[in-house]
Amino acid sequence: MKLKFTKKGRLKILASFVCVGVLAVVLMSSSHREAPLISNDPLADNTDLYAFRSPDNPDKINIIANYIPAELPDGGPNFYSFGENIRYEIHVDNNMATTGDDIVYRFTFKQVNQDPTTFFNIRLGQQNIYTTYTCERSVNGGSTFTTVVSNGVVPPNNIGPRSIESAVGLNAMNYNSLIEKSIATASTGEKVFCGPADDPFYVDLGGAFDLGDLPRQTSKTRDGLARYNIHAICLQIDISTLQKDHKSVNQAANILDPDFVIGVWASSSRRATKTLNSALGGSPYNPLGGATSIETGDWVQVSRLGMPLTNEVLVALGRKDYWNALTPYQDLPNIATFGNYFYNPELALYMDNSQFGPAIPAFKALRVQSNSLGSFDFRNGKNGLYGLKGTSAVAGTALDDAIAGSLLLPGPGKPRSVDLWPIFHTGVPNLRPYQLATGKGGSPLAAGKPFINNFLPNGGDMLRLNMAVPATPRNDPKFSSLGLVQAAVLGLTDPAYNGSAMLQPIPNMDGFPNGRRLEDDVTRIELQAVGGVVLAAIGLWYDDYTGSGSPVTNQLVNTLQYSTGVEKNDTTFKTSFPYLQSPWRGTSIQGQH
């Protein structure tokens, strides 16, 4: 049966598709099913982003962008893979003086059914769907691209031993050999891997979205992403490639050199219009018959991710889809729409006994400061440090309007503009007051011990990483999944680091939110941050500090000891590129890949 339309009818249908495409700009979004429309488009769904200095190769930075949430390892007959007609992109901003991206890596994928006569995904050395990719790189912000990997190979899903190792399957030595074979070296030197892997993110999803029951109060905590897979795009890049002046890390002035700060974000885009064809009798696009689709029009961003959990937890439901349609460079112009989610985060209402704290018993250990040093109230709607704006007390600090005060003290009633906002939207400078309380002599605005500098204020929500910070060996006894929070604890309490205010390497200075390592417990760190732990680290102590004696009070200890109940991934990580663990096998039993 052929469908016929008049010219007027065709235009009407085309207009309908265009409207859908325009609507997609507003509605689509990203992460682990975090926003309404993208939950129906998992192939384009950006789940997590990581950026960290290689622990085994200190001249390299690893960027890992994950897509396709909650893949069942045994999800046949149509296993997940990267989608065709999708642009997957990794964006890098490395220069405060430029507008927008400086480097972009673009990945596009193609699929072939090598044997469409079988319902099996793999049989007799052939794959359905055999996937290859092209990687292009732009060094002028996306104006032009050069192909750096062509015909890269995506390994198949880890279906089972008959599909992977047996003679009637691929006859591979083992699944890991397929991963090793698929690691490519770009013509410009980067290592590249695209393929399925264990989902490295860990969180009790059930408890988290059961009105903040994290850790669960009456039932057993469970990693909601345990034994699920994702599809990852992994890059290992020379620091000199990412540094704005192409300096090697040995040329850094010190371990917090501001010229080595990069911002990283990832996205996916689809064509604006998708047309479905019934093709019941077959067509040039599908000679065996069946529905087909053609995608045309401009590319539309449908997913983006920078800092973890931004859209999932901080942005309210009604704005999630809109947030994901923007680039980070549009965040500041949309400050009226999104700023209050960071200045006055909803989560902080549940960490405040004068608001809804008693209704969320799981957050009892997290109580934001209401009377820090007898003067400063950081509860929602209060003024935080705004009373100091324009005074001599903040002269020469990052809170000075002549430096960054207009960003960090924008107005009254925005208490978290000094901590949560810079963590998520500008990065944190190595300026007063953003130094550890060590050496401050009790004054939070005094100079203290430097421990972070990833300030890059010309974009919005991105992972910001100072590439000059040394990587903490994963076998270091002081390595911690608490990232920069643990670095602060060591800088304040460990005799190896708290004896002076001088700059020195502290374990975990390379951890989240200075970039993000695979091991970092970002859920716990972000909840502690909303609970005011960053304020305490720089000397704005919790309310139970009396002004004498140790500031390591019960409230600070409670915050540091808070746990969501899930503190590590359900499996190990590899010690070399691509670092992600092999994907779970469709026939596996508990504890085996």
pLDDT for 35: 63
Q: What is the DSSP letter of 236?
A: E
Q: 145-164 as b/e, with b when 16 or more CB fall inside 10 Å?
A: beebbeebbbbbbbbbeebb
Distance CA 215, CA 566 (A): 8
pLDDT for 63: 98
Residue 306 contacts residue 516 (beta carbons within 8 Å): no
Nearest to 423 by CA among 373, 485, 473, 489: 485
pLDDT for 26: 31
Distance CA 388, CA 408 (A): 12
Distance CA 212, CA 494 (A): 33
- In the chain, the amino acid numbered 521 is D
Residue 428 contacts residue 229 (beta carbons within 8 Å): no
Residue carrying the six token digits 């399957």 = 169
537: number of Cβ within 10 Å: 28
Residue 35 contacts residue 168 (beta carbons within 8 Å): no
What stretch of H or E contains 111?
Answer: strand 103-112
Secondary structure E strands in 141-291 = 146-154, 184-185, 191-198, 229-238, 261-277
pTM: 0.93
pLDDT for 317: 78
Nearest to 583 by CA among 119, 22, 108, 72: 72
Distance CA 571, CA 200 (A): 8
Which token pair is 259?
Answer: 């010229």
Residue carrying the six token digits 């917090």 = 256
Which token pair is 62?
Answer: 């690893």
pLDDT for 508: 98
CA 98 → CA 3, 95, 444, 487, 514, distances in Å? Answer: 52, 6, 33, 31, 21
φ, ψ of residue 106 in degrees (nearest 5): -115, 130
Residues 6+ apart with CB under 8 A from 324: 28, 29, 30, 35, 38, 301, 302, 303, 304, 311
Which token pair is 375?
Answer: 């003067």
SS3 of 267-306: EEEEEEEEEEECCCCCCCCCCCCCCEEEEEEEEEEEEEEC
Q: Where are the alpha helices (DSSP H) in 89-230?
A: 161-164, 175-182, 205-208
Residues 6+ apart with CB under 8 A from 61: 51, 52, 53, 54, 236, 237, 238, 239, 242, 262, 465, 467
* 575 CB-contact burial (10 Å; exposed 0-12 / middle 13-18 / buried 19+): exposed
Residue 306 contacts residue 463 (beta carbons within 8 Å): yes
Distance CA 302, CA 323 (A): 10
Residue 126 contacts residue 115 (beta carbons within 8 Å): yes
Distance CA 531, CA 163 (A): 49
Residues 6+ apart with CB under 8 A from 457: 96, 404, 407, 426, 427
Residue carrying the six token digits 């989608």 = 83
pLDDT for 13: 33
CA atoms within 13 A on the CB side of 581: 20
- How do residues 142-200 score in pLDDT, each as one tens digit? 999 999 999 999 999 999 999 999 999 999 999 999 999 999 999 999 999 999 999 99
pLDDT for 79: 94
pLDDT for 319: 82
pLDDT for 212: 93
Nearest to 262 by CA among 93, 422, 97, 101: 93
The series of mean pLDDT values per 10 residues for the chain, 593 residues long, is 35 36 32 67 94 97 97 92 97 95 98 93 95 98 97 97 97 98 98 98 93 94 95 98 98 98 97 81 57 87 91 80 90 89 94 97 97 97 97 97 93 97 95 97 96 95 98 98 98 97 98 98 96 98 92 96 97 98 89 61
Distance CA 499, CA 204 (A): 39
Distance CA 116, CA 139 (A): 40
Residue carrying the six token digits 């997957």 = 88
What Rg, from alpha-carbon coordinates, does the chain have? 25
pLDDT for 15: 36
